Amino acid sequence: MAKDSLYKYVLALGDDALILGQRLSQWAYRAPFLEEDIALSNISLDMFGRANLLLEYAATLKGNGITADDLAFKRNERQFTNRILFERPNGNFADTMVRQFFLDAFYKLFLQKLTGSKDEQLSAIAQKSIKETAYHFRHSSKWVIRLGVGTAESHTKVQSAIDNLWMFTNELFEMNEIDNEMLQQKIGVDCSSLKQEWIKIIDEVLAEATLKRPENIHMTTGGREGIHTEHLGHLLSDMQYLQRAYPDAKW
């Protein structure tokens, strides 16, 4: 039972990283300039690396010869438990950067706590990831500031990205049964305790960017229970196509 909870916990963290990596990889060769193509693929690679570690760990917890690739390529929408913000479409460059900024700020706090996990594997993964996230955060927060301060057009675009994505942020701090169980066992993180600190980070950057934090917005949730926006199904059908079409093949 406890092992099953740990499996679900690790799997959910793996799904977050995997889906975000896949989203970022959709930028391939479409960034505003070459250096940014390189930066976005770097971040995407880091997320896939993180996903790979987490899903491999989840696969060993599951047993029965299941592999990380099975978990990534052979589950359906309802079986994915990534939080919704991770799956939001790329939109324009501001939408992507704001999504990334919200998540990087979250990861910074979350991974810091996770390094103290009693579970050695999770702690090791957190230690590796936290360095990458520090770079991601510098990159995304700097862009939010550039776009906020830059021109009237960029200011409008980045503000509307913030307004549109805000409703998905509260889910980051929710705790379900598995989260609570993992917290009790000193394996998992108390996400609800991260919110204040997160808001502080967001406010600091938004102030420098001359942008506003939205208020009184209805918050959406569901990802951890396998309830997603319709976008996830399309992302998966694209990502899983070869594995599904040729189930016997090895690549």
- Candidate residues 2, 4, 30, 131; the one interacting with another protein per rule CB under 8 A: 30
Contact stretch for another protein (CB under 8 A) within 4-12, 177-185, 195-203, 234-242: 234-242
- Nearer residue to another protein within complex by CB, 29 or 184: 29
Note the Cα 197 to chain centre separation in Å. Answer: 18
> DSSP for 8-55?
HHHHHHHHHHHHHHHHHHTTTT-SSSHHHHHHHHHHHHHHHHHHHHHH
Nearest one of 128, 85, 80, 82 to 105, comparing CA atoms: 85
Q: Residue 147 corresponds to which amino acid?
A: L
Residues in Cβ contact with 94 at an 8 Å cutoff, skipping those fewer than 6 apart = 147, 154, 157, 158, 160, 161
- Nearer residue to another protein within complex by CB, 150 or 226: 150
- Nearer residue to another protein within complex by CB, 16 or 171: 16
Residue 248 CB, nearest approach to another protein (Å): 6
- Nearer residue to another protein within complex by CB, 1 or 249: 249
Residue 184 CB, nearest approach to another protein (Å): 31
Distance, CA of 68 to CA of 51 (rounded, Å): 9
Residues in 67-106 at the binding interface with another protein, rule: CB under 8 A: 68-69, 72-73, 92-93
Residue 131 CB, nearest approach to another protein (Å): 18
Residue 204 binding another protein, by CB under 8 A: no
Q: CB count, 10 Å around CB of 104? A: 22
* Contact by Cβ (8 Å): 147, 211: no
Residue 107 binding another protein, by CB under 8 A: no
Residue 118 CB, nearest approach to another protein (Å): 27
The token duo for 24 is: 């970022």
Q: Given the rule CB under 8 A, which residues bind another protein?
A: 22, 25-26, 28-38, 41-42, 44-45, 48-49, 51-52, 55, 68-69, 72-73, 92-93, 145-147, 149-151, 153-154, 157, 238-239, 241-243, 246, 248-251
